[in-house]
Amino acid sequence: MIHGPHIDWFALAGVNSLLAASALALLSAVLVPGPLRRPVAASLCALGYATAIGFTIALYVKSPHGHGVVVDAFRRDRLAQFAGIILAGSGLLATAISYRERMREHHGEYYALLAAAGGGMLFFVGANNLMTLFLGLEWFSISLYILCAIDRDRLGGLEAALKYLVIGGFGSAVLLFGSALVYGATGQLNFDAISAAGQAHDSLLVFGLAMIIAGLAFKASAAPFHMWTPDVYEGAPTPVTAFMAAATKAAALVVMLRVLVTAFPSQAHLWTVALAAIAVCSLVIGNLAALVQKGVKRMLAYSSISQAGFMLIAVSTDSNLGARALLYYLIPYAAMSLGSFAVVAARERELGVPVTFENMAGFGWERPLLGVSMWAFMLGFAGFPLTGGFVGKFYIFAAAYDRGWTWLVIVGVAATAVSLYYYLGVIRAMYFRPAEELQLAPVAGGSPPRELLLQTAVTAALVVTVGSFFAVQPLIDAARHATEFLFL
C-alpha cells in the first residue's frame, strides 16, 4: 500500500478558499445569465478573499512556533500568515475597485483570475523550498499576465501584457536557473537544508544566490530590474495595476526576506551589500524618473520603484529590527498603493482618458472624499507624520543606522526630499489649479456615477494609512512575532 504524505489542510485553507472562489467565478461565466455575471463573480471573489483573511488570522494565532507541512515543502508560520493578511486584504480592496471597470463580457474570467492570483501569492509566501517557490511564482504571474490583457479593445493593455510576459518570463527563468545552481552546489531544495549544507565559499552557490536575488528583484520592481514596471503599470487596467503594486511587491519582498535569512545566512556578507546597492539604484532611478512624468499612473509606477528601494534597505540590514520594519511598512504601503490607484481609476472613468497632472485640476474640490484621500496617500508615500509611511520610514532608517550604514540613511533621506516634488505636485494639481483649465469633452450620459464600492475601498485604505500611525505598537508586536524565528 502506498502511503501519501500527511497534509495539513488547515495550513492551506486560505489558498484553497481562493482556489474555490476562482473556480466558482469561472463557472459563473458559463452558468449565470449575462446581466448577473458581474455581481455574482465579484461577490464570489470577495467572499474568497474575506474567507482567506479569516483563515490567515486564525493561522497566525494558532501557529506561534511554525513548522513545515506537505513534506516540509510549505511553511506554516506567522511570517506567511502576516503576509497573507496583507495580500488577502489587498485582493479584497482590489475586487471592490474593479467592480465598475470595463472588461467587455469577461467578468467571470476577470474575477476568477484575480482570486487565482491571490491564491498563488498566499502559496508563494509560504514556500519552504526552491521548487514550491518557483511554482507559486508562476502560479500568480500567469494570472497577472492575462489580467493585464483582459480588455482586448485596450491596445495599451495588450502591449503591457506582452511586455510583462516576456520580461517576467525572463525573470522567472533567471530565478529557476539560480535555483538549479544552488541545488547543484548543495544537493538540497529546502531552505534550512541549503543553509546546513555548509557550502559558504562555493562559487556555484554564489552565482545561484545572485540569480535568485535578481529573479525576486524583478517581481519587486527594484532597479535595475524595473524596466517592465512603468509600461505595464500604465497599460494594464488600473485595478490590476493597484493589485500588482500592493500585493506583488509585498509577496516578493517577504519571500526575499525568508529565502535570504533562512537559506543563505553564511553568504550574508555578500547579499546584504548587494541589496543595499539595489536599494540605492531603486531610490535614484525611481525618484529621478518620477520627476519628469506627466501621467499620474506612470509617476506612481516610478514611485513604486522608489518605495521598493526603501523596503530593500530593511531587508539588507539582516536584522530583526529590519524585518519588523519591512513587515510594518508593507501595511501602509499596500493601503496607499491601492488607494492612490483607486482614485486614478475613478478619475479615468469620469474623463474617459488617461489621468495626467493637467486633468487632475480641481479634482480635490469636485470629489472631496477622493481628493482628501489622495492627499493623505501622497503625504504617506513622502513619509509625513500622521500616516503609517512616516513610522515605516523611521523604522527602516533606524534599522540601517543600527547596522552602521549611516550613508544609506543619508541616501534615503535625500531620496525622500526629492520625492516631495512629485508627490506634492499631485496635491497642487488637485487643489491649486482651477478646474476651468480642463479642456475635455463631458462624460457621455451626464455627471459621473458615485461608485460606492470604490469609495468604500478608498476609505478603508485611508483608515489603514492613518490608523497605522496611531496603532504602531500592536502592529510592530505582530511583526515581531512573525519574524522572531528568523533570527534565533
Q: Report the C-alpha gap between 70 and 388 in whole angstroms.
A: 37
* Type of residue numbered 34: G
- The pLDDT of residue 441 is 41
Q: Give the cell for residue 35.
A: 446581466
Q: How many CB atoms lie within 10 A of CB 251?
A: 30
- CB distance 150 to 157 below 8 Å: yes
Mean pLDDT to the nearest integer, 436-457: 61
From the number of C-beta atoms within 10 Å of its C-beta (0-12, 13-18, 19+), residue 95 rates as: buried
| pLDDT for residue 447 is more than 70 | no
- Residue 223 scores a pLDDT above 70: yes
Tally Cβ neighbours within 10 Å of residue 439: 7
Q: What pLDDT shows up at residue 154?
A: 73
Domain membership of residue 3 (yes or no) is: no
- Note the pLDDT tens digit of each residue in 228-276: 999 999 989 999 999 999 999 999 999 999 999 999 998 999 999 999 9
- 161 is a domain residue: yes
Q: How far apart are CA 95 and CA 45, in angstroms?
A: 7
Cis ω before 224 (30° cut-off from 0): yes
Average pLDDT, the chain: 90
* Per-residue model confidence (pLDDT) at position 373: 95
Query: Quick one: angle between helices 296-316 and 320-351, nearest 10?
Result: 170
- Residue 2 domain flag: no
* pLDDT at 469 exceeding the cut of 70: yes
User: Residue 7: what pLDDT?
Assistant: 77
DSSP-H helix ranges across 317-405: 320-351, 363-366, 368-382, 388-403
210 falls within a domain: yes
Rounded CA gap, 26 and 307, in Å? 35
- Count of the separate structural domains present in the chain: 1
Q: What is the pLDDT of residues 343-363, one digit of tens each?
A: 999 998 888 888 888 888 888
* Separation of alpha carbons 456 and 112, rounded Å: 22
Q: Can you tell me which residue has the cell 494639481? A: 429
Q: CB within 8 A of 134, min separation 6: which ones?
A: 172, 175, 176, 179
- CB count in 10 Å sphere of residue 162: 16
- Asked, for residue 304, whether it belongs to a domain, the answer is yes
Cβ burial of 169 (10 Å; 0-12, 13-18, 19+) is middle
1: in domain: no
**Residue 264: helix, strand or coil by DSSP?**
coil
The pLDDT value recorded for residue 450 is 61
**Among candidates 149, 118, 148, 153, which has minimal Cα distance to 136?**
118
At 404, list the grid cell: 552602521
For 218, the 3-state DSSP assignment is helix
Task: Find where cell 482651477 sits.
Answer: 434
* Rounded distance between C-alpha atoms, residue 25 and residue 292, angstroms: 41
Q: Which conformational region is residue 318 in: left (phi greater than 0), alpha (psi within -120 to 50 degrees), or beta?
A: left
Helices (H), 128-197: 130-148, 155-186, 191-196
pLDDT tens for 204-213 read: 999 999 999 9
- From CA 182, how far away is CA 184, in angstroms rounded? 5
DSSP string, 403-450: HT-HHHHHHHHHHHHHHHHHHHHHHHHHHSS-GGG---PPPTTSSPP-
Could you tell me the residue range of the domain that residue 340 belongs to? Answer: 9-486
Question: What is the rounded distance in angstroms from the CA atom of residue 38 to the CA atom of residue 36?
Answer: 6
Write out pLDDT tens, residues 114-147: 999 999 999 999 999 999 999 999 999 999 999 9
Pairing of β 74-76 and β 67-69: antiparallel
Residue 68, sorted as left (phi over 0), alpha (psi -120 to 50) or beta, turns out to be beta
